[in-house]
Structure 1
Amino acid sequence: MRVLMTGAAGGVGTLLRPRLARKGRVLRLLDVVPLEAGPGEEAVTADITDPEAMDAAMDGVDAVLHLGGHSVEQPWADILQVNIHGTYVVLEAARRAGVRHVVLASSNHAVGFFPRGAGEAPDYVFPRPDTFYGVSKVTKEALGSLYHDRYGLQVTCLRIGSCFERPRDVRMLSTWLSPDDCARLAEASLAADGFHVVWGVSANTRRWWSLEEGRAIGFEPGDDSEVFAAELIAEHGEPDLGELPHALVGGAFCGPRYDVENLTVRG
């Protein structure tokens, strides 16, 4: 089995590479940044917005894990070209190559303005993006739905929370997706038939995002951020659930820092 991983040089891709290694599986690693392939890997330097390059990258591929794109807010033109158009290019190349399964890295920021006061954030909660980046994730889910319904691709969209080796602040006690759980979720998604939107979150004691759809496709998280709680709370204090980082799914992405007038970062 050959799995194409776009954005393989990024944070999530780097964490997943050793965890997705399997006997009989080849990971084809694609990024605009050159990578060195290890055992059971192939490396491709390419841009996800380049149709010819993506057609070539799909040769012999059985499944796609699409992580490529900007991972934080950027000006609209950059988001449009890389995250939105790039996803279209990836899906089109997968369709033409006859790839059966595609996993799309969505984000909690697709529904960032969903309030904690409304209770547990359910699976398939209606899009409420918090940024242009969040809009790109909504569009990624919509494209995945289209390519499933019209062309028969099996597509799973992962609304990923905070995937790091360990939570970095008290907010992540709710949103953390451990690297091992991320790999478990990726494995379940690579085998799932149909179209699914799944929360990418571990079984955290303080979690307020649903795990129902994830479990329905075979994802059973094994980690809980609570093992880090005492240390983080000693450093930062107990979270105030009424404050922005905790009151909305998107946290600080919902704040004025990301108003278009303040957006000066360039990708």
Structure 2
Amino acid sequence: MPAAKPVLVTGASGNLGSMLARELTARGYRLRLTDIKPFPGDLPEGAEFTTADLGDAVAMQHLADGCGAILHFGGISVDRPFEEVLDPNIRGIYHIYEAARREGARVLFASSNHAIGFHERPGPGEPKLDADCAFRPDSFYGLSKAYAELMGRLYWDKHGVENLNVRIGSSFPEPVDARMLSTWLSYADLAQLCAAFIEAPRIGHAVVWGASDNPATFWGQDQRERIGWAPQDTAEDFRGQMEGKVSGDPVTERYQGGAYCASAYSRESPSPRDPFALD
């Protein structure tokens, strides 16, 4: 059953936010949508849209009034310089959690694999990376995601604000390269995850790998049982088209964060499987 209280969705004009606006209103949820950019296309029935900046604490509090859940997809969503990331991703997440604390709302934070991007990809037969692993961000963007996950940890421990950090791999309509055979998250699986989050009786503070049911996944255990989510789609359906689409760059292909790890990389490239490469 859809939640009685409205749900706030930030970043609603982006690819994922606008998709969720359509999918969740179709499931009967009442949504408050916000972004600094206009909403693309027609506004779904059952949703209202407000233009606002994540850096505006008063606006975020007003938008959260009466909401039972916040789906936080707002902010800089790609690898950008520190000064561009700072205000929307660092100050913005504080405003979201303060609004959630005041309203007694729970928060789904759209985190990223780039918070752990400098972990190596597992080889055949090697263990997958569990969600309780150390943060190893691969960019200022990834660093902001790690910070925001820790903000959720703080607000749960200190204030009891329930939150779910979804470390999204690669959420697109279809995979576009070989790496996404491991990291792809279908739109349908993401929409189902968000609905499960809204409806879950209790969450606490949890971390879930945001990927579909991909046999080639880099990732292992997480806390998806807290929301009862089981992805239905798989990147294996695209293996024949994607298997050979690799970058050829040794840093990109070695680490889980892919091209974000290689961007502005200034170390001497490590030899293959060097155990001290990133100590």
Judge same fold: TM > 0.5, yes or no: yes
- The amino acid that maps onto 2:135 is P
CA pair 163-177 structure 1, distance change in 2 beyond 3 A: same
Higher relative contact order (CA 8 A, sep 6+): 1
Which residue does 1:195 correspond to in 2? Answer: 205
Structure 1 counterpart of 2:67, from 47, 58, 61:
61
Which residue does 2:173 correspond to in 1? Answer: 165
Structure 2 distance, partners of 1:88, 1:19, is: 27
Structure 1 counterpart of 2:251, from 220, 244, 260:
244
CA pair 48-122 structure 1, distance change in 2 beyond 3 A: same
Structure 2 distance, partners of 1:171, 1:80, is: 28
Structure 2 distance, partners of 1:64, 1:258, is: 35
Structure 1 counterpart of 2:242, from 222, 232, 237:
232
Superposition RMSD on alpha carbons, in Å?
2.0
Runs of 4+ in structure 1 over 6 Å off: none
Q: Which stretch shows the higher mean deviation, 25-34 or 181-190?
A: 181-190
Structure 2 distance, partners of 1:242, 1:123, is: 27
- The amino acid that maps onto 1:75 is P
Deviations 1:30-74 (Å, cap 9, x if unpaired)?
A: 100122532110111101110111111112211000000001111
**Helix, strand or coil: the match of 1:20?**
helix
Note if 1:19 corresponds to 2:23: yes
Note if 1:148 corresponds to 2:156: yes
Which residue does 1:265 correspond to in 2? Answer: none
Note if 1:74 corresponds to 2:80: yes
The answer to whether the 8 Å contact 1:173/1:206 transfers is yes
Note if 1:178 corresponds to 2:209: no
Unaligned runs of 5+ in 1: 260-267
* Greater helix fraction, Structure 1 or Structure 2: 1
Structure 1 distance, partners of 2:29, 2:263, is: 45
State the 1:82 CA deviation. Answer: 1.0
Which residue does 1:7 correspond to in 2? Answer: 11
CA pair 51-212 structure 1, distance change in 2 beyond 3 A: closer
**Helix, strand or coil: the match of 1:21?**
helix
Which residue does 1:32 correspond to in 2? Answer: 36
The answer to whether the 8 Å contact 2:55/2:88 transfers is yes
CA pair 169-24 structure 1, distance change in 2 beyond 3 A: closer
**Helix, strand or coil: the match of 1:257?**
coil
Which residue does 1:130 correspond to in 2? Answer: 138
Unaligned runs of 5+ in 2: 267-279
Which residue does 1:264 correspond to in 2? Answer: none
Which residue does 1:254 correspond to in 2? Answer: 261
State the 1:258 CA deviation. Answer: 5.9
Deviations 1:153-210 (Å, cap 9, x if unpaired)?
A: 1100010000000001111111000001111221222324210011100001211212
Structure 2 distance, partners of 1:82, 1:195, is: 22
Structure 2 distance, partners of 1:163, 1:73, is: 16
Q: Which stretch shows the higher mean deviation, 105-114 or 89-98?
A: 89-98
State the 1:240 CA deviation. Answer: 9.1
Return the TM-score normalized by structure 1.
0.89
**Helix, strand or coil: the match of 1:65?**
strand
**Helix, strand or coil: the match of 1:166?**
coil
Which residue does 1:263 correspond to in 2? Answer: none
Deviations 1:132-155 (Å, cap 9, x if unpaired)?
A: 111100000000111111111110
Return the TM-score normalized by structure 2.
0.85
The answer to whether the 8 Å contact 1:6/1:66 transfers is yes
**Helix, strand or coil: the match of 2:25?**
coil
Which residues of 2 match residues 36-55 of structure 1 at below 5 A?
A: 36-55=42-61
Structure 1 distance, partners of 2:182, 2:176, is: 11
